[in-house]
Amino acid sequence: MGRTFQVYLDIGNNSGNGRVCSSVSGVDQLSPNGDCERTYACMHCRAHLAAHADLISKSFHGSQGRAYLFDRVVNVIVGPAEERLLLTGLHSVADIYCHGCRTPQV
């Protein structure tokens, strides 16, 4: 059985200058100008999920902790949308799962 297709976020080229970037929440890459560009990734299989530039808000809080709002994500399976009462009010939310390893992204 073949491996499923994954989308890799094109946010820069990290070859050439030997600089290493580190991140707690994902994978960092170097942009063309040499700055680190944060990429949110699955904690289990490291598949790219979103670019830091697509992060809209970290101001949401639910029963399981922080919830992030992104403009665009890749490599995810979206669960059914449902109304949930978060600490910031009633919101329509959907859980997401990594397309590569099928783990919930909480």
Please, which pLDDT band fits residue 94 given cuts at 50, 70 and 90? confident
The full set of domain ranges for the chain reads 1-12+33-105
CATH topology of domain 1-12+33-105: 2.170.150
Please, which pLDDT band fits residue 56 given cuts at 50, 70 and 90? very high
Please, which pLDDT band fits residue 12 given cuts at 50, 70 and 90? low
> Distance (Å, rounded) from C-alpha 77 to C-alpha 98?
6
Give pLDDT, residue 5: 52
How does DSSP assign 19-86, residue by residue?
-----SSEEEEE-TTS-EEEEEE-TTT--EEEEGGGEEEEEEEETTEEEEEES---SEEE---EEEEE
pTM above 0.85, yes or no: no
Please, which pLDDT band fits residue 10 given cuts at 50, 70 and 90? low
